[in-house]
Amino acid sequence: MLCSREILNFLIRKDVKKILKRKDSDAGQRGKALEDLRASIFNKFCSSESAKRQQQRICGPVAALTFNFMVAVGIIFMNKWVLKNVGFQFPVFLTFIHYAVSWALMAILNSFALLPASPPSKSTPLSLFTLGVVMSLSTGLANVSLKYNSVGFYQMAKIAVTPSIVLAEFIWYKKKVTFSKVVALTVVSIGVAIATVTDLQFSLFGACVAVAWIIPSAVNKILWSNMQQQENWTALSLMWKTTPITLLFLVSMIPFLDPPGVLAFHWSFNNTSAILVSAFLGFLLQWSGALALGATSAISHVVLGQFKTCVILLGSCYLFGSNPGTISIIGAFIAIAGTSFFTYLNLRDKKQQPQPGLQVSSALPKSKLSEGNGEIRDGFGTETV
């Protein structure tokens, strides 16, 4: 997102003012200097690299995880409310509404040129297509699982996502998890299992859906994290590219997983408002989840999800009449302890890693003005020796 104050600050820089006031008789030199200025402004405010840096600066790991945590807790309760209390028994169509509203909101941003630019084509069409498909499976099957299973069983199924991610990242990217992190992940999983053992209400069909959801969920998180960190995508630009594919596959899933009668549903003002609020939270969830995956890793995002389980467990007790009991509360504390230990290990590893230089060199040729001043500046006005 561009900030008018940043643009003004850029234009009143010393060398920029000299270019704008230049009175050389050589029109060619002046034109070249202005062309350099135009290209520099583009690199500063319109390029995908600049959008990525702005995203990293504004929404770091703590902010992204906190944002995702708050939205995820809200939408699980909201979706359960829509499916149970409002009586909208069409979970895949509800997911379709979520993504349709998300695409409409991004289209509005794009019409005002507020959508971040896509990076130069590093991602193959197959990778974008694959991400769109697994997004539809992951989100659609999650809502189906939430309809047929209790919130506790829904969260219990997430435990299997953690080893799936570890195994997949080892096979694809040769990533290894340290022994101490394996211990922390094990403690988190045991705590969640204990916390949710008293709220395991499910049907055979719901259990099958929950099992089928595990692999798409793991692949979805890995692709989101890897494509942002390795290929310079921002969260919104990647959402903009993949949402149409997701919508297409959600439409194909509706006849198989949703019951008939969506047109006969009572679309009253209150019911429609609840569904639209759920859809807006769905957009925020998709965005915050992408920000969190881009700022951290797939495993960290899953651990955050297990931490959310403890909050959701207590919330479901209040909203839906569940009784967690003493054992579940103990399990919640065990999961929180494991989450805290895993977070500590991640922070320690980050401190030990060498910090890469923040300077980004520009491919632009040096302007005559900068050379005349005895300075070398990159495309962002940073002085270098």
pLDDT digits (tens, 9 = 90+) for 239-274: 999 999 999 999 999 998 898 988 889 899 999 999
pLDDT digits (tens, 9 = 90+) for 90-124: 999 999 999 999 999 999 999 988 888 777 766 67
CA 366 from chain center: how many Å?
38
pLDDT digits (tens, 9 = 90+) for 27-75: 556 566 555 555 554 454 455 566 667 776 777 788 888 888 889 888 8
pLDDT digits (tens, 9 = 90+) for 329-353: 778 778 878 888 887 787 677 667 6
pLDDT digits (tens, 9 = 90+) for 123-148: 678 889 999 999 999 988 988 887 88
pLDDT of residue 175: 84
How far apart CA 132 and CA 384 sit, in angstroms, is: 42
Radius of gyration of the chain (CA): 24
pLDDT of residue 73: 81
Both tokens assigned to 62? 């703590």
| Nearest C-alpha neighbor of 366 from the set 353, 355, 379 | 379
pLDDT of residue 377: 40
Instruction: Among 36-40, 145-149, 205-209, 291-295, name the one with the lowest average pLDDT.
Output: 36-40
Q: Which residue has the higher pLDDT, 202 or 174?
A: 174
Phi and psi of 258, rounded to 5°? -105, 145
User: What is the pTM for the complete model shown?
Assistant: 0.69
Question: Each residue of 100-138: b (16+ CB within 10 Å) or e?
Answer: bbbbebbeeeeeeeebbbbbeeebeeeebebbbbbbbbb
Tell me the three state secondary structure of residue 269. Answer: helix
Q: Which residue has the higher pLDDT, 379 or 215?
A: 215
